[in-house]
């Protein structure tokens, strides 16, 4: 019942937001002609699709770097195909089976007994994403700092709020790192035996300790993955810049790169289907405020960028239907 209510709410929110957008900007008169321009401006469309694939490819490299610290013999093509299929589930799923769930299920099937390492690698994978987005966003803000006073008050508050959100997440990450050090947890169990000894809390602490230990073991790989992640996010954001140019809009690349971390964060909220409606409204507001892009153009550009990434999600769906999942036997099992 809860799952049905969650799915219904997501469908309702996306439907209402899109209906409001298309009521303000006529779908047939304002949006469709600009989306048709994707065929006329095919070089930008091709560039957007290429950037979308580059983002997906770098995502697979990022995850593979971390995974190889725990599963050294895992082939890259397995990770790439898993990423492509997960892209399909990310755009098609309205329930609980999203991309991350598929990744865990798929590699756990291929790697018997490796469910926990796979899950931990995904946690580290997302942490590298946080670090790279924070770096890109900070770099863009510094690059356009001289134009800060030209931005409207509401937009400045939105950007400041997002900066506080990212900064708070990084501070929380540092605090978590020190909080779950084994020595500190051992002190906590001795000092607060009743609280720290609670079965539910003990299980959570055990899992977080394992994440801490894996990160301590793979911190060099995590830093390498963060560098790749920066390129991955830049490519993803550039796919939306290409979408803007493909629908006939224009804006400085720096303005699009400044807006996209906020747009992506809003679209990632679990309140809509594949971010539809939320992404378009946020992209429209930010590009209008930062670069004076007409609202209908901003909505069309957001839809175009989304379609570029949907294209590879559909390819991932084909890969999923044609895949024959094999099991990779760890070398130590073979030797045994």
Percent of the chain at pLDDT exceeding 90: 39
Cα(194)–Cα(180) distance, rounded to whole angstroms?
18
pTM of the complete model: 0.85
Report pLDDT digits (tens) over 109-140.
Answer: 877 777 777 887 888 888 889 999 999 999 99
Q: What confidence score (pLDDT) does residue 335 get?
A: 38
Question: CA dist 101 to 66, 268, 336, Å?
Answer: 18, 15, 31
pLDDT > 80? residue 316? yes
In which band, very low, low, confident or very high, does the pLDDT at 327 lie, cut at 50, 70 and 90?
A: very low
d(CA 120, CA 104): 10
Q: What distances in angstroms separate CA 236 from CA 82, 268, 308, one per listed residue?
A: 18, 14, 10
- Both tokens assigned to 310: 């949907």
Q: Which pLDDT tens digit goes with each residue over 178-212? A: 777 777 777 777 777 766 667 767 666 776 676 66
Identify the pLDDT of residue 6: 65
Give the number of other CB atoms < 10 A from CB of residue 206: 10
Taking residues 220-228, report their average pLDDT.
88
- Which pLDDT value is given to residue 191? 75
Per-chain mean pLDDT for the chain: 83
Mean pLDDT of 202-227: 75
Kindly state the percentage of the chain with pLDDT values over 70: 86
More confident residue, 330 or 71: 71
If you search the block for the tokens 């990212």, which residue do you land on?
A: 166
Phi, psi of 319 (to 5 degrees): -60, -40
Q: Which residue has the tokens 């379609």?
A: 307
Predicted confidence (pLDDT) per residue in 63-78, tens digit: 999 888 877 888 899 8
CA distance 236 to 28: 28
Domain boundaries, the chain: 9-152+221-330
Q: H-helix or E-strand containing 242?
A: helix 219-246
Q: How far is CA 161 from CA 77, 165, 317, in A?
A: 39, 6, 37
pLDDT, tens digit (0-9, with 9 covering 90-100), for 1-47: 666 666 677 777 777 878 877 778 878 888 999 999 999 999 999 99
């Amino acid at each position: 019942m809860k799952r049905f209510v969650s799915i219904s709410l997501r469908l309702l929110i996306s439907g209402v937001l899109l209906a409001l957008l298309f009521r303000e900007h006529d779908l047939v008169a304002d949006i469709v002609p600009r989306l048709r321009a994707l065929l006329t401006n095919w070089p930008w469309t091709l560039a957007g699709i290429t950037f979308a694939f580059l983002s997906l490819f770098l995502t697979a490299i990022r995850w593979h770097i971390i995974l190889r610290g725990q599963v050294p013999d895992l082939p890259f093509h397995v990770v790439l195909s898993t990423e492509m299929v997960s892209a399909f589930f990310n755009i098609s799923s309205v329930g609980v089976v999203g991309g991350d769930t598929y990744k865990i299920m798929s590699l756990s099937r291929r790697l018997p007994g490796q469910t926990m390492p796979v899950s931990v690698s995904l946690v580290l994978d997302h942490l590298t994403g946080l670090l790279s987005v924070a770096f890109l966003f900070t770099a863009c803000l510094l690059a356009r700092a001289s134009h800060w006073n030209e931005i409207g008050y509401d937009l400045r508050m939105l950007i400041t709020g997002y900066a506080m959100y990212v900064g708070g997440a990084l501070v929380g990450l540092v605090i978590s790192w020190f909080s779950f050090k084994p020595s500190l947890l051992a002190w906590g169990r001795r000092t607060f035996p009743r609280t720290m000894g609670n079965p539910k809390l003990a299980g959570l602490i055990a899992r977080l300790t394992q994440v801490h230990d894996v990160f301590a073991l793979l911190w060099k790989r995590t830093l390498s993955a963060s560098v790749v992640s920066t390129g991955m996010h830049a490519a993803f954001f550039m796919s939306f810049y290409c979408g803007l140019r493909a629908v006939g809009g224009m804006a400085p690349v720096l303005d699009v790169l400044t807006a996209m971390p906020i747009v992506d964060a809003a679209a990632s909220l679990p309140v809509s289907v594949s971010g539809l409606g939320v992404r378009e409204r946020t992209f429209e507001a930010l590009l209008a405020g930062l670069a004076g892009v007409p609202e209908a153009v901003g909505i069309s550009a957001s839809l175009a960028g989304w379609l570029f990434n949907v294209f590879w999600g559909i390819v991932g769906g084909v890969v999923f239907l044609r895949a024959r999942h094999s099991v990779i036997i760890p070398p130590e099992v073979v030797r045994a």
